[in-house]
Amino acid sequence: MEPPFVPEYDRPEAPGVWMNFDNTVSLYHIVEPEDSFEQAAQALFALLREAQTRFPDWPRILYLDVRGHRGDRAGFDADFFEFQQDFLFATVAPFTTAVDTPLTGPLLNPDVQRNDVPDQLVIGPPESGSPEEGASTR
């Protein structure tokens, strides 16, 4: 089955929120070597909120670059492997039409983009009691 909308992939030249010629919005974030998991998560979520505020319900394409944070988990340290593999897909990707990360490359959201972007992102211990951090939106 063909997705309802396939955006043009055109990574912006600078980080931020950018309107595109095809009536999509690009969100571009670069995780720097000094950024923690929580700092990167909050910055990415702030871009998502800004995009929804400035361009309500427009199709969103998220571009992510990660500088540093190298390790043995597909080339990334454990935090930024989890950031791209788990956090991004569970918390941010549902609010986008497509994502493009160093770990996955470009991917289309198989579901319709959600536009009910929560007011805040809360990162802390998951409710299950696991020692790993979890994220939720409110």
* Backbone Cα Rg of the chain: 15
pTM above 0.75, yes or no: yes
Closest by CA to 42, choosing from 87, 108, 97, is 87
Write out pLDDT tens, residues 44-56: 999 999 999 999 9
Report the Cα 78 to chain-centroid distance in Å: 17
Give me the phi and psi of 72, to 5 degrees please: -100, 10
Cβ-contact 26, 18 below 8 angstroms: yes
Contact criterion met (CB below 8 Å) for 8 and 17: no
What are the DSSP calls for 91-105, one per residue? IIGGG-SEEEETTTE
The confidence score (pLDDT) of residue 125 equals 66
Query: What are the backbone dihedrals phi and psi of residue 64, each rounded to the nearest 5 degrees, phi first?
Result: -130, 135
Q: Which residues contact 69 (CB under 8 A, 6 or more apart)?
A: 31, 33, 76, 77, 79, 80
Dump pLDDT digits (tens) for 66-109: 998 998 988 889 899 999 988 998 999 999 999 999 999 999 99
* pLDDT over threshold 50, residue 135: yes
Largest CA distance in the chain: 46
Calculate the alpha carbon distances from 85 to 17, 74, 92 in Å. Answer: 23, 10, 11
Quote the pLDDT of residue 2: 54
Residue extents of the structural domains in the chain: 16-137
